[in-house]
Structure 1
Amino acid sequence: MLPKLLLASLTAATTTVSAEQVLGVYIFHRHGDRTSKAWPPVNLTPLGAQQVASSASFYRARYISSSSSSSSSSDNTNTNTSIAGISADAAVLSQLSITAPVDNVLQNSAAVFAQALYPPSKAAGSQKLANGTTVEAPLGGYQYIPVNAVTSSASSAGSESSAWLQGSSGCSDAVVSSNSYFLTPEYLDTLNRTHGFYQDLLPVINSTFNASTATFKNGYSIFDYINVATIHNASIPSSNLLTNSTLKSLYDLASTHEWNLAYNASEPPRAIAGSVLAGQILTALEAIADGDKPTAPRLNVQFGAYGAFMAFFGLAQLPAASEDFYGICDYASSMALELVAPSADRTSPDDLSVRFLWSNGTAAEHGLKEYPLFGQSQTTLSWNDFKAGISKFAVADTQGWCKVCGNTDGTCAANATDASSPASQQSSDKGSSGISRPVAGVIGALVTLAVILGLEALVLLLGGLRLVKKSTLAGGAGAGAAGETAAKA
């Protein structure tokens, strides 16, 4: 009996279950493997769909299954990671928000993710009618989870069909800022220094690139083209040139190229994709933390492009935690931000905390690792500290986006406001007498009309003119007088 009791006590001491409770999660996810951007249309591949599905299964096990837990090797504890109150088997749409831009690769990735997150369920897919007939839903109980379209700089439409990072952002100042990179000494030095490197690869890429385009300026496009080929092509022209060292250089150069287009510490507009993503994260988690929106989704999943990851990483100072954040993330990479309460009965904003977790590649293969945000040393931040840190660069509404981007047309024209306070804005809409401009305009029009009528009356009086009915004129005038005016002397 004693050994059994001792074993039980040791087990209890080494493996504990934390009372911690996950209240909500925001996941930003890259698409799975796809075809090359050099040969549109770009499509999600079966491999890519499998990568995304496996990632969704991982997140299902972590956040949705009733027995969800994660183990920490540092303190030998098992922590319950299931989201409080989330449905385990049947998808409750009010608890979920799954979004992707209008883009074939990203929309399809999100659709695959949704189905692996909540697989077909026969229990949710059958119905007994009044006449006693049982109807089975099609596709084995397929659960209809909508993927809502988003249009923002974080996930712009057609982003996977464009090789230019800011090509579809719509942010004027971001495009100008990114283009300015091509004028920097750093870029020009790399362009000249690597010219021979890219020219030597022409035997591999000459079906798509020529001597004038095989340069660092197309560093990402060339990397993407070769990367796709190494995954899918059984044979590659002059493949002997693609040594491990060469492939690493292609990746490093492409990462340098895209990092500098996505982020610059001194030019906030360049990282607009990360700012918008930060605003979306803050808005979603704030609705849960403040508790003023009890129907707010508990699990938010957005699919987007690698450039948004880079922009967010730069703004959140993640390269200070690891230089790996400088690189282009792999297919099906994902980051998750968890809003956590210390226990189920302590859920006030002052008690909450936020964790940032990251997987470079599908989480099913690599798992999630915690990293500190905003240059901090701890990986868990209080909700108030997290909110203060992310608010420094988050863009959460159209007015803020227009201000950062410098756009004045379209939606921004309708949202343009004076930078002054509401009171001074109201004052500027009034004259010195306190009359509003619309009312003053009406009064002015009436005064002008009165003046015109008065002048006409004066002319008639001084000129001895009189008004004659048109019918009177018609009766008294002959054919030769048909062209005379109504006002006669």
Structure 2
Amino acid sequence: MAFKTFLFSLATLPLVNSETVLGVYIFHRHGDRTPKALAPTNLTALGADEVFQSGTYYRSKYISSNASTPIHGLSNDIAVPSQLNVISPSDSVLQSSALAFLQGIYPPAGSNSVSILANKSEVVAPLDGYQYIPISTSSVTASSANSENSEWLQGGSGCGNAVVSSNNYLSSSEYLSLLSSTKSFYTDLLPVYNATFSASQATFKNAYTIFDLVNVATIHNQTISDSQLLTNETLFQLRTLADNHEWNLAYNSSDPIRAIAGATLAAQIVQQLNATLNKKGSTPVSIQFGAYASFMSFFGLAQLEKVSADFTGVVDYASSIAFELVTNATNVSTANYPSTNDVSVRFYMANGTAAVNAPKIYPLFGQTETTISWSTFTNEMNKFAIGDTTSWCAACGNTTGICATSASTSGADGGSTAAQTKSGNGVTLPVAGVIGALVTLVVILGVEGLVYALAGLKLVKKSTLAAAAAAGTGVTAAGAAAGAKA
């Protein structure tokens, strides 16, 4: 009897987790903000709190001394800049979001931030030891030292073939059908937004910016003009139409150049994770902030719409995806670092702030396994990743600007460093700079001549368009089917 009791006590003990997390790459959207249609756009207090809470979640998962899945060798309480690679485009909303997120990752150091001087006096750091974590930026301004590289790193402002691809959608039968069938729907809602959009602008062409304006109002305005028009069904249709519009501009399975944002993001992910492995975990954490368009185009390229049609919707504010490097090798150390053959990758997605909607694990590339080998991961990513200037120029069909310089350099030495795209472990680190995340968004700017807003909403299945049509909201079933297949 005593032996049985002993066995039972062993069975109730927690299992020892032999797995080690070697590093992580997090791609994050900004928090709640003011509408893009009413510039200048600013991060709100709600938005700052959303990304801060998300950072707090990731701290509890990867960083704190009692983290659920701690990253090997990562400092728990005091940020070590060399261990973190943080990137954000030169955009005030994204930069502010990154700052708030980092304070969740590494909160003020408190008593650890006191310095005792030679005269024995004490100096307390400002803001209870606020930790200053560097954020790398890339700029496309002429004054930038890397402005030419940044043109493709930011990615979309000059990608000719991507612009053509988006134009193809705007002249497609699917788009024209929805433009026509939803005309009365948007016109009927003019009393809600006629202070911002004219009658001629109130169409499916501006589906996202109209939704963005209304969505922000429903969050922040205690009273909305003609609120009786904004029924739950109407708000649902505004959101679903915006999803349909943005998905088709961000990705098309038969024309992958449209997903240039996801292609450059994929290269960035592989490059940084590869650097973590090559440097034996000296920089185990990479964090990048970017726009929803990059999420959508990456989802398409990674075949995540096969997992759920929800992946074809615009991600909510403060959403994030994470790529986790793990190994079952034992006694991990710098001197005994696992080989890439012993490393695997997992993909997580949180729609909305991770503190509320904890990241869920999903399979990539149409596979069934959620934990895949490093070699499989890099091979699949490299099928669509664009990680150097030469490849970007070739894909975009560009021959001027940075592309002219790249072609000249490549021809001079028979194979420039810019042309290096792959190594034994995947895509190599590119020339100066990092890949930005606003690629598809800028393509949309060039196509439509309108600033599309960086906003958020909950993921919505395109199959619900048909249901909306049946309810008499003006969306055609044909349009719904087309949206589900895109």
Q: Into which bin does the TM-score normalised by the smaller protein fall?
A: 0.7 to 0.9
Which residue in the other structure is 2:118 paired with?
130
Give the Cα–Cα distance (whole angstroms) in 2 for the partners of residues 278 and 7 of structure 1: 48
Q: Pick from 366, 371, 374: which aligns with 1:380?
A: 371
Aligned pairs for 1:476-487 within 5 A: none
Counterparts in 2 of 1:167 and 1:417: CA distance versus 1, 3 Å: closer
Counterparts in 2 of 1:169 and 1:212: CA distance versus 1, 3 Å: same
2:261 aligned with 1:273? yes
3-state SS, counterpart of residue 101 of structure 1: coil
Counterparts in 2 of 1:175 and 1:372: CA distance versus 1, 3 Å: same
Per mean C-alpha deviation after superposition, the further-off stretch among 250-259 and 170-179 is 170-179
TM-score (norm 1): 0.78
Contact 1:98 1:114 in 2 (8 A): no
TM-score (norm 2): 0.78
How many residue pairs match? The answer is 397
Aligned pairs for 1:136-215 within 5 A: 136-151=124-139, 169-215=157-203
Counterparts in 2 of 1:392 and 1:422: CA distance versus 1, 3 Å: farther
Structure label with greater radius of gyration:
1
Which residue in the other structure is 1:335 paired with?
321
Which residue in the other structure is 2:384 paired with?
393
2:208 aligned with 1:217? no
Which residue in the other structure is 1:8 paired with?
9
Q: Which runs of 5+ in 2 are unaligned?
A: 141-153, 333-337, 417-486
Q: Pick from 231, 255, 260: which aligns with 2:219?
A: 231
Q: Which amino acid is 1:311 matched to? A: S
Counterparts in 2 of 1:44 and 1:181: CA distance versus 1, 3 Å: same
Contact 1:258 1:307 in 2 (8 A): yes
Which residue in the other structure is 2:394 paired with?
403
Which residue in the other structure is 1:23 paired with?
22
Q: CA deviation at 1:272?
A: 0.7
Q: CA deviation at 1:99?
A: 1.1
Q: CA deviation at 1:177?
A: 1.4
3-state SS, counterpart of residue 316 of structure 2: coil
Q: Which amino acid is 1:326 matched to? A: T
3-state SS, counterpart of residue 336 of structure 1: strand
Give the Cα–Cα distance (whole angstroms) in 2 for the partners of residues 194 and 131 of structure 1: 74
Superposed CA RMSD: 2.2
Which residue in the other structure is 1:42 paired with?
41
Which residue in the other structure is 1:84 paired with?
72
Aligned pairs for 1:292-441 within 5 A: 293-294=279-280, 296-345=282-331, 347-416=338-407
Give the Cα–Cα distance (whole angstroms) in 1 for the partners of residues 158 and 212 of structure 2: 24
3-state SS, counterpart of residue 214 of structure 2: helix
Q: CA deviation at 1:262?
A: 0.7
By relative contact order (CA 8 Å, sep 6+), the higher-ranking structure is: 2
Give the Cα–Cα distance (whole angstroms) in 2 for the partners of residues 29 and 171 of structure 1: 24
The Cα offsets for residues 313-353 of structure 1, whole Å up to 9 and x where unpaired, read as 00000000111100010000000000111134472101110
Contact 1:94 1:295 in 2 (8 A): no
Give the Cα–Cα distance (whole angstroms) in 2 for the partners of residues 424 and 233 of structure 1: 57
Aligned pairs for 1:233-252 within 5 A: 233-252=221-240
Give the Cα–Cα distance (whole angstroms) in 1 for the partners of residues 137 and 384 of structure 2: 24
The Cα offsets for residues 367-410 of structure 1, whole Å up to 9 and x where unpaired, read as 01111100001111111100100000111112222221222222
Contact 1:268 1:404 in 2 (8 A): no
Q: Which amino acid is 2:234 matched to? A: T
Q: Which runs of 5+ in 1 are unaligned?
A: 70-80, 153-165, 426-489
Give the Cα–Cα distance (whole angstroms) in 1 for the partners of residues 78 and 228 of structure 2: 52
Which residue in the other structure is 2:432 paired with?
none
Q: CA deviation at 1:237?
A: 1.1
Counterparts in 2 of 1:167 and 1:258: CA distance versus 1, 3 Å: farther
Give the Cα–Cα distance (whole angstroms) in 1 for the partners of residues 36 and 235 of structure 2: 18
Give the Cα–Cα distance (whole angstroms) in 2 for the partners of residues 205 and 394 of structure 1: 40
Q: CA deviation at 1:295?
A: 6.5
Q: CA deviation at 1:266?
A: 2.0
